[in-house]
Amino acid sequence: AQSVTQLDSQVPVFEEAPVELRCNYSSSVSVYLFWYVQYPNQGLQLLLKYLSGSTLVKGINGFEAEFNKSQTSFHLRKPSVHISDTAEYFCAVSRGNTGFQKLVFGTGTRLLVSP
Amino acid sequence: EAQVTQNPRYLITVTGKKLTVTCSQNMNHEYMSWYRQDPGLGLRQIYYSMNVEVTDKGDVPEGYKVSRKEKRNFPLILESPSPNQTSLYFCASSPLTGRNTEAFFGQGTRLTVV
């Protein structure tokens, strides 16, 4: 079975500073990896995904993530955050051969951007 | 516009009173699922369906039922709700094939059982 660990429940950061949200996973099979964002009172929106190929994945809103197979990590980064990036971010994994259907989520990281 | 629609968005009910949360998608997706989101636990899958009349349990199915009589609809049924089912619920849909697509989520239903 797959599992996802997001060690940071909350990350405070100042506007225009860089940020990294950490995600580690465990799985005995190949996986697909995802980052979702949840703005207040809204559903989940896909930020980016890793299926195969280049380990550096670029997503929407200036976010990117790097897949590191040896460290089983998929950390999310943004070089300069905005107030509007304040939201909760979820890392998720699915079995590689079933694609994105069954998603296993981490517990989420709340990003708090202040002026 | 491609979307997953859940109703209602907010619901307060009493213990034991049967309720249904509806979910509808307009993308002709085969796969649909329900998740619940709880603080500190992330999202956990309740039930899923791979096509009409095909449903199966997810990780936390106790106390829930689902049905899939039509491809577009996947209602979540709580026959006898209890306070531990107070949560934020999300419906999601995705195609079964095609690697370059994604799961689409509804706006969520916040349920309170008193």
B101 band by pLDDT with thresholds 50, 70 and 90: low
User: Among candidates A11, A6, A7, A13, which has minimal Cα distance to A33?
Assistant: A6
Which of B44, B58, B102 has its CB closest to that of A100? B102
| Confidence class for position B85, pLDDT limits 50, 70, 90 | very high
Q: Is the pLDDT of residue A41 over 90?
A: no
At A51 the pLDDT is 85
Above 70 in pLDDT, residue A99? Answer: no
State the pLDDT at residue B47.
Answer: 96
Contact A43 B105 (CB under 8 A): yes
As given in the structure block, the two tokens for residue B19 are 């309720």
Calculate mean pLDDT across residues B38-62: 93
pLDDT above 60 for B66: yes
* Predicted local distance difference test score (pLDDT) of residue A80: 97
pLDDT band at residue B99 using 50, 70 and 90 as cut-offs = low
Does the pLDDT value for residue A28 go beyond 80? no
Instruction: For residues B34 and B114, give the distance between their C-alpha atoms in angstroms, rounded to a whole number.
Output: 22
Q: How confident is the model at residue A102, as a pLDDT? A: 80
b/e per residue B59-75 (b: at least 16 CB within 10 A): ebbeebebebeeebbbb
Say yes or no for a CB contact (<8 Å) between B99 and A90: no
* CA distances (Å), origin A102, targets A75, B83, B111: 21, 27, 23
Is residue A96 very low, low, confident or very high in pLDDT (cuts 50, 70, 90)? low
For residue A91, pLDDT over 60 is answered with: yes
**Chain A contact probe: residue of B7, B57, B105 with most A CBs at under 10 A:** B105
pLDDT of residue A11: 97
pLDDT tens profile B9-34:
999 999 999 999 999 999 999 999 99
- Contact of A106 with chain B, judged by CB distance below 8 Å, is answered with yes
Nearest by Cα to A61 from A75, A42, A80: A80
| Residue B96 clears pLDDT 60, i.e. is over it | yes
* Chain A interface, best mutation among B4, B21, B29, B43, by max A CB count within 10 A: B43
Q: Are A102 and A4 in contact (CB under 8 A)?
A: no
| Residue of chain A nearest B58, judged by CA positions | A102
Strands (E), A1-115: 3-5, 10-14, 19-21, 24-26, 31-38, 44-50, 56-58, 64-68, 73-78, 87-95, 104-105, 109-114
Question: In percent, how much of chain B has pLDDT > 90?
Answer: 84
Average pLDDT over residues A3-19: 95
Percent with pLDDT over 70 in chain B = 96
- With 80 as the cut, is the pLDDT of residue A29 above it? no
